[in-house]
Amino acid sequence: MHEFPVRPAALAATLFATAGAAHAADSVESAGKARYLQECAFCHGDDAKGNGPFALLLKKQPTDLTRLAQANGGQFPFDKVFASVDGRTRPLAHGTAEMPIWGQEWRLEEGAGAEAALRGRLLEVMMYLRSIQQK
């Protein structure tokens, strides 16, 4: 196992500690939804159940993203999902990964702020995914 370079829980804690936490969380979530619909839905589907239009062309069915908590005893597995969406620590021996490595795709800026901006993008999507988990 590689050591994962960020601590999502710590990041989330910082985010929630800011004033107007509930409102901030709402807008983070809706930014995540917009990003999801733009970049994830064509594989995972608008409803995140794994049947977007592009799914037919893939060898592996995209994961039903509304059941990540269910598959983990009712707890949304934040760290695991964060790491797999980031993708940079994905083991190469894990076969052909059809899912883009968002930790590379979204690392657009250069220099010192790049990693922070990337984590912001990942967090937005995480907040959205967490909000759509089926009970």
Shortest reach from residue 126's CB to ligand HEC, in Å: 8
Q: Which of 25, 30, 31, 39 binds ligand HEC (CB under 6 A)?
A: 39
Distance separating alpha carbons of residues 87 and 7, to the nearest angstrom: 15
Q: Does 9 bind ligand HEC (CB under 6 A)?
A: no
Distance separating alpha carbons of residues 104 and 110, to the nearest angstrom: 12
Q: Which of 85, 118, 123, 132 binds ligand HEC (CB under 6 A)?
A: 85
Q: Does 114 bind ligand HEC (CB under 6 A)?
A: no
* Angle, alpha carbons 129-132-133 (nearest 5°): 95
Q: Does 40 bind ligand HEC (CB under 6 A)?
A: yes
**CB count in 10 Å sphere of residue 131:** 14
Longest dimension (CA), the chain: 45
Q: How far is CA 35 from CA 2, 45, 76, 84, 130, in A?
A: 28, 13, 20, 17, 14
Shortest reach from residue 20's CB to ligand HEC, in Å: 26
Cβ proximity to ligand HEC, 57 vs 112, nearer residue:
57
Per the CB < 8 A criterion, the answer to whether 97 and 87 are in contact is yes
Site string for ligand HEC, 41-70 (x = CB under 6 A): -xxx---------x---x-x-xx-x-----
The site for ligand HEC (CB under 6 A) is made up of 39-40, 42-44, 54, 58, 60, 62-63, 65, 81, 84-85, 97-100, 102, 125
